[in-house]
Chains A and B, each alone.
Chain A
Amino acid sequence: MADLITASGPSGVPVSSPLESHIVAGEFGNLAYGARVTLAERCGLAICDVQAWPGNTTRTARAIGKATGLPAHARGHGVGTLGQAFQYSPDRWTVIANQAELAAVIANAVGDGGSVVDLSHGRVVLRLAGEKSRWVLAKLFAIDFALSAFPVGRGIGTCHHTIGVQIQRVDRQTFDLLAHRSLARALWDALTRAGEEVGGRVPDRT
């Protein structure tokens, strides 16, 4: 009996986003200095949770690195050419890539050294970018987002209110936020409200 999600394969039926009817494209908030943050949903990504069994950390990290295009020394941590990954607890990673077979690719590489769960439908990825992205995030999360404390590629699990969120720094001013699908609207609303002070922009969903 196969995994429901990975067994389903490409169905040809478009995947609906929990934010589909919720997002309004355009600018919002205080635009006196322009839109200083951009908030968007990253759709169509494969998202996996990976766990290495004891003693298989290196092997699993290497498999993740290969799937995401990360250099070998990255130890399954960072933004690669094919995707991105970060370790958020001992022997556990979140992996994101724009390839439908991501879970199968990693599972094959990991073999009996670990386990992979496809969460592509269970999580959403929001991208917050712009010169004031740190300022907006600091309103919601008790995390030091200074570049020295939270370098590019680093990911972390935290929460705002009761919304569990994983955050990865993609570049100096860009962060990806992963949240449970059912809480996507709540996180979106919290981010837009926090961003009103600095002015924000939501790009068209194209």
Chain B
Amino acid sequence: MSGYRRPSGGKIVERGKTVTFSFDGKQHFGFAGDTLASALMASGVMLVGRSLKYHRPRGILAAGVEEPNALVTIMGPDGHRAPNVRATELEIYPGLACESQNRFPSLAFDAMAASGLAGSALAAGFAGKTFMGPTFGLMKATRPWMAYERRLRRLAGLGRLGTEPDRGRSQKMNAFCDLLVVGAGKPGIRAALEGADQGKQVIICDNGATLGGYANWSGDPDISAMVTRLQEMDNVRALTRTSVWGWYDGMTLAAAERLTDHLGEADATRPRQRHWVIRAGHVALATGALERPLVFADNDRPGVMLASAAQRYAAMYGVLPGKRIVLFTNNDSAYATAIALKARDANLVAIIDIRADVPEAAHSMAAVAGATLHTGHAVTGTSGGAALDSVSIAPYRLETRRTAGPGQDIACDCLLMSGGWSPVVHLPAQRGDAPVWDEHLQAFLPPPTDGNWSVHGAVAGDFEFGDGLSPAPAPVIEIGGHGKAFVDFQTDVTADDVRLARREGFHAAEHLKRYTGLGMGTDQGKTAGVAGMTIMAEALGTSVETVGTTRFRPPYAGVPIGTIAAERHGDLHPRRFTPMHDWHVKNGATMRSDGLWERSAAYRRWNEEAAQASLREARAARRSVGIADVTPRSTIDLRGPDAARLLDHVCANTIADLPIGRTRYTPLLREDGFIWADATVCRLTDHHFTVTARAGQPTPMLEHFEFFQHCGGTAPRVHLTCVSDQWATMALAGPRAPDVLSACVIDTDVDTRTLPAAGVVHGRIAGIAVMIARPDRPGPFGYEVRCAAGHGLDVWNALIAAGEPFDIAPIGLQAMETLRIEDGQLAASEIDGRTTAHDLNLDGFVSTTKPFVGSAMMDRLGLKHAGRHALVGVAAQKGGRLLGGSHLVASPDKQNPGASLGHLTAACFSPTLERHVALALLAEGRARIGQTLYATDPLRSGTHIAVDIVRLPFLDPAGGGGHG
């Protein structure tokens, strides 16, 4: 059997441009515009793949998106592999290299084809049955499965992914239109033109490389003029090579456009694929219909093809699929195909029509096609190896659904089949409504429209095959015979498998799908659905309408995940930078992500490791002075006459009496009494406050404030703004911090009288206005300097310069973590949504004289129970290394540690105390201070370390010895 190229014809190919490509390592030639399928067919290559389960040889069945067999893997020059690409849609380009799939060692000789001899052992559901073993003996229960699971898994799947990344670019596009037309065949173009003539903004999409669809290969004389007119309209965007694959809430549809896939080595500035998200006012569906195969013995042999596919290859590519062609049909449309093929010099030797009575027009057309017409006959089998040699036909009686009499063989190298047409109802069905069975057409039609969408052409059951030809097929899909009769070619589901599913109780369409795998391949059973449901209905003795369909879900056709992800990852993943970012990088900072923020983890010097650098920085901050870029802290600006009232309502601490120019620490509680954040409130004027919290908090903080502003209704005049980016913020730690400030600040003093704890002053550094604040509770950072972000680097440089005599050290996140643990300060690991202010020793910051959010619930008995986990300090006894997440237990026995009493929330090596210390949430924590417990970490480090439970902070705020 061999396909071949006609000396002329082919609407879409450019015969002047020869394209060289390789398939399974062998070089082939085609023309520009060819698909891989048409080019291979023109070269006489009809064996293109192996089936999933039985590894049977497979050829090209279709000519478009419905192709189940001809799947190939594209091998990119950079090692990237793209598996399961349909050869019927893959346009060849110079240098294209692809290989067939699911075979070993070669396509022609596949050792795994021996699985075809396993007979019914590999029937539907065999994989599921491997879970079950005998009820006794060595291989009872699931032990057989355990024995061959790995081997089975290796055999499963289709195609093989590579490990190299896909370097092709994908982009997203948002589009809005009055009218979206899906499908650019003649009905689609007609709908688009009507919409455009009314002044609507129109988008029309088609999966093919050209507009026109079926009209192109059926030779419709009007289509060229219609396409030309459409392309000249300013209010129409026509997208070819674009598959509309999903219909989501409302009128939002998703489409994938292949922009440069057909060009090979594409311009790097252009995306390879584009993910369209289209919001349409109205959707016109002109998605056409797909021809169905017929189910008979060995209907999967290479050389057996859909009739419409052959017509398309002949018309569009000038390629005929064989030199002796037989056509097998149950409907009239095949006669139009026969005429079309004859017009391109095809040698049509016979037409086998399952119906005894066919229209007079069909008789005439068969005669014109030069084919012998065998009415009331059916194909009962095929012969040949990896290519078709002949077909067996026999008289067939529709009434009994059986062959009736001796048959005959017809020598041929190509069998075209037409089992009727299935409208492409996927998109409207994805919205949730079930398709409607049409007994006359033997097909599912779209569900009733809600007025926001309409159907046009074949998808509505409106077929145009020619005068005197009916679209209604005989109600027969399957012809009995000996041999495997395939329903779903891609998942190797046979008619017997469907009946087996029925016998085993899987009657519903969804159960049939899951039991047999019907419709679960990459083609989603586009050619198999109706056949499968029809056979199931016959087996059940019911109607197809009763069996129904499975639920239609996106995507209609496979879409690479990378196309949907588009360019929103890698270097385009958003990152936030502080005004001093470049300085950090230039000065040896190892940058680390903290949420979206890029922050310095440590500043490595002299080939230091990061851990060494952070210890040096922490020591410098304790001994002399350290400076940290804390710009990422979240700052909310509140202004207005009701600002104090709002803050008093949402903060656990009292804010109303906060003097101007002072700061106050406060926990923030949820309504259930648990703490969800902590912050420092600063009062700048009577009606102007700022609230500063940890990095990453501005959005939840704003939401929290706005919720209670509007729901409480008591504070309408508050202007809430996120000003985190407005200010550059630097924190100074260490005993020499006041000296550094004194050296560079003008217009204000920074002594403790002018700037006491919780005080705020304004001054200038390097001529730039700054605000200097001191916290109202002990912590590692004694001073916070703020300036306008655009001057942040200038102020930072001035502080660094002023600190040089004091060996000022920039400190990164790791050192900051060490300092905050030593000082017993809180972070997200302690404020984890399950702790209360009491658990975290914050009772002193919670007002007892006013109501506030959470106050009604925080004093529940359960939240005051002595057994609750409380925040304590943990110090390792013998130099053991503590790890955050370790559990605290009472038993010294590592093997039998007993129940967990709590866990370490954060741990570090304290350079001040020269031992590992940690914060912990410990049951009855306060009562256990002074006890020895054990920090056990069985899964990661396997350590079991004796620790002292101590009071926080580890370091005496007055500067004395540490509690550790």
Restricting to B572-620, which residues have a CB under 8 Å from any CB of A?
Answer: 572-579, 582, 596-597
Segment of B148-156, B185-193, B522-530, B723-731 in the binding face: B723-731
Nearest CB in chain B to that of A8: its residue: B769
Q: Does B174 contact A (CB under 8 A)?
A: yes
Q: Does A73 contact B (CB under 8 A)?
A: no
| Structural contact, B790 and A162, CB atoms closer than 8 A | no
Chain A residues near B688 (CB-CB < 8 A): 1, 3
Nearest CB in chain A to that of B171: its residue: A139
| Structural contact, B723 and A11, CB atoms closer than 8 A | no
- With A183-B574, A185-B577 known as contacts, the answer to whether A4 contacts B171 (CB < 8 A) is no
Question: A144–B251 Cα gap in the complex (Å)?
Answer: 14
Q: Does A190 contact B (CB under 8 A)?
A: yes
Q: Does B115 contact A (CB under 8 A)?
A: no
| Structural contact, B791 and A13, CB atoms closer than 8 A | yes
Chain B residues near A190 (CB-CB < 8 A): 567, 572, 574
| Structural contact, B269 and A30, CB atoms closer than 8 A | yes
Determine how close the nearest CB of chain B comes to the CB of A3; give it in whole angstroms. Answer: 7
- With A1-B661, A30-B269, A197-B171 known as contacts, the answer to whether A123 contacts B791 (CB < 8 A) is no
Question: A183–B789 Cα gap in the complex (Å)?
Answer: 13
**Binary CB contact string for chain B from 248 to 273 against chain A (1 if under 8 A, 0 otherwise):** 00000000000000000001011100
Segment of B68-76, B207-215, B537-545, B714-722 in the binding face: B714-722
| Structural contact, B571 and A189, CB atoms closer than 8 A | yes
Nearest CB in chain A to that of B175: its residue: A138
| Structural contact, B769 and A7, CB atoms closer than 8 A | yes
Restricting to B156-177, which residues have a CB under 8 Å from any CB of A?
Answer: 171-176
Question: A112–B688 Cα gap in the complex (Å)?
Answer: 13
Determine how close the nearest CB of chain A comes to the CB of B591; give it in whole angstroms. Answer: 13
Restricting to A133-171, which residues have a CB under 8 Å from any CB of B?
Answer: 138-144, 146, 149, 161-163
Q: Does A29 contact B (CB under 8 A)?
A: yes
The 8 Å CB contact of B572, one of A54, A149, A193, is: A193
Determine how close the nearest CB of chain B comes to the CB of A9; give it in whole angstroms. Answer: 8
Chain B residues near A53 (CB-CB < 8 A): 640, 716-717
Segment of B462-470, B490-498, B760-768 in the binding face: B760-768
Nearest CB in chain B to that of A114: its residue: B719
The 8 Å CB contact of A115, one of B277, B576, B639, B788, is: B639
Segment of A14-22, A34-42, A63-71, A80-88 in the binding face: A14-22
Question: A187–B576 Cα gap in the complex (Å)?
Answer: 10
| Structural contact, A18 and B577, CB atoms closer than 8 A | yes
| Structural contact, A123 and B725, CB atoms closer than 8 A | yes
Chain B residues near A18 (CB-CB < 8 A): 577, 579, 789
**Binary CB contact string for chain A from 101 to 139 against chain B (1 if under 8 A, 0 otherwise):** 000000000001011011111110000000000000011
| Structural contact, B597 and A4, CB atoms closer than 8 A | no
Chain A residues near B760 (CB-CB < 8 A): 1
- With A8-B769, A51-B719, A138-B175 known as contacts, the answer to whether A122 contacts B269 (CB < 8 A) is no
Nearest CB in chain A to that of B567: its residue: A193
Chain A residues near B142 (CB-CB < 8 A): none
| Structural contact, A119 and B723, CB atoms closer than 8 A | yes
Question: A190–B568 Cα gap in the complex (Å)?
Answer: 8
| Structural contact, B173 and A139, CB atoms closer than 8 A | yes
- With A11-B769, A13-B767 known as contacts, the answer to whether A185 contacts B725 (CB < 8 A) is no
Nearest CB in chain B to that of A124: its residue: B725
Q: Does A194 contact B (CB under 8 A)?
A: yes
Q: Does B226 contact A (CB under 8 A)?
A: no
Q: Does A172 contact B (CB under 8 A)?
A: no
- With A1-B685, A1-B762, A51-B719 known as contacts, the answer to whether A11 contacts B768 (CB < 8 A) is yes
Q: Does A24 contact B (CB under 8 A)?
A: no
Chain A residues near B788 (CB-CB < 8 A): 4-5, 8, 15, 120-121
| Structural contact, A122 and B723, CB atoms closer than 8 A | yes
| Structural contact, B794 and A13, CB atoms closer than 8 A | yes
Question: A192–B416 Cα gap in the complex (Å)?
Answer: 52
Chain B residues near A122 (CB-CB < 8 A): 723-727, 789
- With A15-B790, A162-B596 known as contacts, the answer to whether A5 contacts B173 (CB < 8 A) is no
Question: A189–B576 Cα gap in the complex (Å)?
Answer: 12
Question: A161–B726 Cα gap in the complex (Å)?
Answer: 22
Question: A123–B789 Cα gap in the complex (Å)?
Answer: 10
Q: Does A58 contact B (CB under 8 A)?
A: no
Q: Does A181 contact B (CB under 8 A)?
A: yes
Nearest CB in chain B to that of A17: its residue: B790
Q: Does B637 contact A (CB under 8 A)?
A: yes
- With A11-B791, A180-B725, A181-B725 known as contacts, the answer to whether A4 contacts B762 (CB < 8 A) is yes
- With A7-B762, A30-B269 known as contacts, the answer to whether A117 contacts B639 (CB < 8 A) is yes
Question: A139–B270 Cα gap in the complex (Å)?
Answer: 13
Question: A5–B770 Cα gap in the complex (Å)?
Answer: 9
**Binary CB contact string for chain B from 656 to 668 against chain A (1 if under 8 A, 0 otherwise):** 0000110000000
Restricting to A188-206, which residues have a CB under 8 Å from any CB of B?
Answer: 189-190, 193-194, 196-197, 199
Nearest CB in chain B to that of A112: its residue: B641
Can you list 7 A-B contacts (CB < 8 A)?
A: A1-B661, A1-B685, A4-B727, A13-B791, A54-B716, A54-B717, A139-B171
Apart from A4-B788, A193-B567, 19 more pairs, CB < 8 Å = A1-B661, A2-B762, A3-B688, A4-B762, A8-B788, A16-B790, A30-B269, A30-B270, A49-B719, A117-B639, A117-B719, A121-B725, A121-B790, A122-B727, A138-B173, A149-B176, A180-B724, A182-B577, A183-B596
Contact surface of A with B, Cβ cutoff 8 Å:
1-5, 7-9, 11-13, 15-18, 21, 29-30, 49, 51, 53-54, 112, 114-115, 117-123, 138-144, 146, 149, 161-163, 180-183, 185-187, 189-190, 193-194, 196-197, 199
